Amino acid sequence: MSYFTNVNPIQYEGIESNNPLAFKFYNPEEKIAGKPMKEWLRFSVAYWHTLTMDGSDPFGNPTMNRPWNEQYTGMDAAKARAEAGFELFETLGVPFFAFHDVDIAPEGSHLRETNKNIDEIVAIFREQMKSSGIGLLWNTANMFGHPRFMHGAATSSNADVYAYAAAKVKKGLEVAKELGSKNYVFWGGREGYETLLNTDMALELDNLARFYHMALDYAKEIGFEGQFLIEPKPKEPMKHQYDYDVASAYAFLQKYDLADHFKINIEANHATLAGHTFEHELHYARVNHILGSVDANQGDMLLGWDTDEFPTDIYMATLAMYEVLQNGGLAPGGLNFDAKVRRTSFEPIDLLYAHVVGMDTFAHGLRVAQQLIDDRVLESAVKERYHSYTGGIGLDIVNGKTDFHKLEAHALDANIINKSGHQERLRGVLNQYIHGGKSLR
Ligand code: XUL
Ligand code: CO
CA of 216 to the centre of ligand 2 (A): 21
The H-or-E segment that residue 430 falls in is helix 423-434
| Distance of alpha carbon 366 from alpha carbon 33, whole angstroms | 10
Pocket test for ligand 1, best of 143, 272, 338, 340 (most atoms within 8 A of CB): 338
Percent of the chain clearing pLDDT 70 (strictly above): 99
Residue whose C-alpha is closest to residue 182's, from 52, 328, 329, 293:
293
Residue type, 405: H
CB 297 within 8 A of CB 268: yes
pLDDT at 437: 61
Which stretches within 179-313 are classed as H helix? 201-222, 246-255, 268-273, 278-287
Q: What is the pLDDT of residues 354-402, one digit of tens each?
A: 999 999 999 999 999 999 999 999 999 999 999 999 999 999 999 999 9
Residues 137-156: what's their mean pLDDT?
98
Segment (H or E) for 292 = strand 291-295
pLDDT at 441: 35
Q: Looking at residue 413, what is its pLDDT?
A: 86
For 48-59, write each residue's pLDDT tens digit. Answer: 999 999 999 999
74-107 tens-digit pLDDT: 999 999 999 999 999 999 999 999 999 999 999 9
CA distance 344 to 236: 23
Rounded to the nearest 5 degrees, what angle is found at the Cα of 108, between the Cα atoms of 103 and 112? 105
| Band of residue 439 on the pLDDT scale cut at 50, 70, 90 | very low
The predicted pLDDT at position 438 comes to: 56
Task: State the pTM of this model.
Answer: 0.97
Q: Where would I find the beta strands (DSSP E) of 40-113?
A: 43-46, 96-100
Residue from 49, 57, 101, 103 carrying the catalytic annotation: 103
Q: Which of 49, 100, 276, 364 is catalytic?
A: 100
Distance 187 CA to ligand 1 centre (A): 6
Q: What is the pLDDT of residues 15-68, one digit of tens each?
A: 999 999 999 999 999 999 999 999 999 999 999 999 999 999 999 999 999 999
pLDDT tens across 7-16, in order?
999 999 999 9
**Smallest CA separation from ligand 1 atom 3, residue:** 187
109 touches 154 (CB < 8 A): no
Residue 351 has a pLDDT of: 98
CA distance readout (Å), 324 to 39, 53, 246, 321, 370: 11, 30, 16, 5, 10
What does the mean pLDDT of the chain come to?
A: 97
Strands in 310-365 per DSSP E: 335-337
Q: Which ligand is nearest to the CA of 241?
A: 1
Q: Is 110 a catalytic residue?
A: no
Gap between the Cα atoms of 225 and 270, Å rounded? 27
Q: Could you identify the atom of ligand 1 that is nearest to the CA of residue 267?
A: 7
**Predicted local distance difference test score (pLDDT) of residue 436:** 83
Q: Convert the pLDDT of each residue in 207-254 to its tens digit.
A: 999 999 999 999 999 999 999 999 999 999 999 999 999 999 999 999
CA of 233 to the centre of ligand 1 (A): 9
